[in-house]
Structure 1
Amino acid sequence: MNEELRRAELAESLSEVRARVDRACRAAGREPGEVELLAVTKTFPASDVALLADLGLTEFAENREQEARGKVAEFAGLRPEAPARWHMVGQLQRNKARSVVRWADVVESVDSERLVEALRKATANALDAGDRTHPLEVLLQVSLDESEGRGGCRPDEVPALADMITLTSDLRLRGVMAVAPLGGDPAVAFDTLSKISERLRGDHPEAVEVSAGMSGDLESAVAHGSTRVRVGTALLGGRRLTSP
């Protein structure tokens, strides 16, 4: 697609998504600025990320380390001055920790003690080597439906994982993330996540972020306290790339 046509298409979609978030915030009695828009750019080219950056977005997410690694580097070449931050939102294998800490500012899919330790070690090594300049921000992914196998720790595992993260200087606990169960009522899921977040903040006041809500259910997530919605399809449309 012609770059100018794609820019116009993305600008229109971005305006519509922002309007949805604004309406959801007003309906919930919240300020629109309380909810961050995270563009999920998986399967889309770095050129789209560059256009979104031109339109004012600064937060981008990927769910596959292999695809993200090359895209982040390409984007940096296209927009070297852009103030972009990158999030890893997909399930992460421990053997990918060393690679992911070289490009990710935030990992939202932390769900086990072994992954915490792998990320801690990888981040420490990257800081020592000069591959990073700041600690890795992390969110605990909570499973709201254990049968789905989409990643996430059990709700009762959150306190111990949070304590483990805060014992290291290389990781920064920022909050929780979840995906609403398929076929279930997202309002019930997001209400559960809100209660988990509230309990977590009681012990870790810095863990204020709640990453919840996607293209199809962001309104419900905002109504239940989400501070970050992860939007792909509604912003970028159907998939464009063949998965690597």
Structure 2
Amino acid sequence: MSTIALNIAKVGTRIREAAQAAGRSPESVGLLAVSKTQPAAAVREAFAAGLRDVGENYLQEALDKQAELTDLPLTWHFIGPIQSNKTRPIAEHFDWVHSVDRLKVAERLSAQRPAGRAPLNVCLQVNLSGEASKSGCEPDALAELARCVATLPNLRLRGLMAIPAPTDDPAEQHAAFARLRQLRDGLGLPLDTLSMGMSQDLEAAIAEGATWVRIGTALFGARDYGARP
């Protein structure tokens, strides 16, 4: 068994055990492989081990990998910050976008989604910690943004995403993820998705209702940022 296949099996065990501990079905939690700075060959190896959902942060890197992997039936998720002038290729080449944080971006994604494609699944990114360096909508502005995005014709608003401030304290992890769940539930919209939890805190995220966990390091190993195009 390859290293990536072994890692996928290990993460799958973590997800299954965390879901069972929370009284949830393991099938209710999706594994999103975050492959930024990883070569297309690593994604191909992950696919061979059963992985089907791939998350990318950098647009050009993602498009290059997609071109190399056209033979694989992968579902592509864009999870990085979105520049307004980059919305067209995102609308054209992705199945999910987890990082919508302002109405202008959502409107452009809807307008630029190709005719005949299914609506683009989107999550609104929330800046839970108020960090200036983090993307995301402020919690106080979330309800109005969600209301507007839900009306756009070529998008399907699925839920919320967050990247909480890193901490090793399980109580703080749980509190951040619980807040995102409460924000989603308080919107009064038919939303089914919470994109939250990474390699170091997926157990807390699943306990609080995560439906996608975004895992990079635990699957592919440490990232080589110098390798990024």
Normalized against structure 2, the TM-score is what? 0.94
State the alpha-carbon separation in 2 of the partners of residues 192 and 137 from structure 1.
Answer: 22
Q: How does 1:60-99 map to 2 (within 5 A)?
A: 60-76=54-70, 80=71, 82-99=72-89
Distance 1:45 1:101 in 2: 23
Runs of at least 5 residues in structure 1 that lack an aligned partner in the other structure:
1-6
Give per-residue Cα distances to partners, 1:56-113, cap 9 Å, x unaligned.
111100001111111111111xxx1x32110010111111001211211111000011
4+ aligned runs moved over 3 Å, structure 1: none
Q: Report the CA distance between 1:44 and its aligned residue.
A: 0.5
Q: Which residue of 1 aligns with 2:42?
A: 48
Letter in 2 for 1:114: K
Q: Distance in 2 between the 1:147 and 1:57 partners?
A: 32
Runs of at least 5 residues in structure 2 that lack an aligned partner in the other structure: none
Give the counterpart of 1:146 among 105, 123, 130.
Answer: 130
CA distance in 2, matches of 1:102, 1:147: 31
Find the aligned partners of 2:156 and 2:62 in 1 and give their Cα distance: 22
Q: Percent identity?
A: 40
Q: 2:179 aligns with which of 154, 169, 192?
A: 192
Cα deviation code 1:29-75 (max 9, x no counterpart): 11111100000011011111111111111110000111111111111
CA-based RMSD:
1.4
- Which shows bigger deviation, 33-42 or 7-16? 7-16
With structure 1 as the length reference, what TM-score do the two structures score? 0.88
User: Shift of residue 148 of structure 1?
Assistant: 4.0
Task: Give the counterpart letter for 2:85 in structure 1.
Answer: N
109-118 or 147-156, larger mean C-alpha shift? 147-156
Query: 2:93 is matched with which residue: 96, 103, 109?
Result: 103
8 A contact 1:143–1:153 mirrored in 2:
yes
* Partners of 1:194 and 1:225 within 8 A in 2: yes
The offset of 1:135, in angstroms, is: 1.6
Letter in 2 for 1:27: A
Partner of 1:177: 161
Paired position in structure 2 for 1:4: none
Match in the other structure for 2:6? 12
* Paired residues, number: 225
2:138 maps to amino acid = R
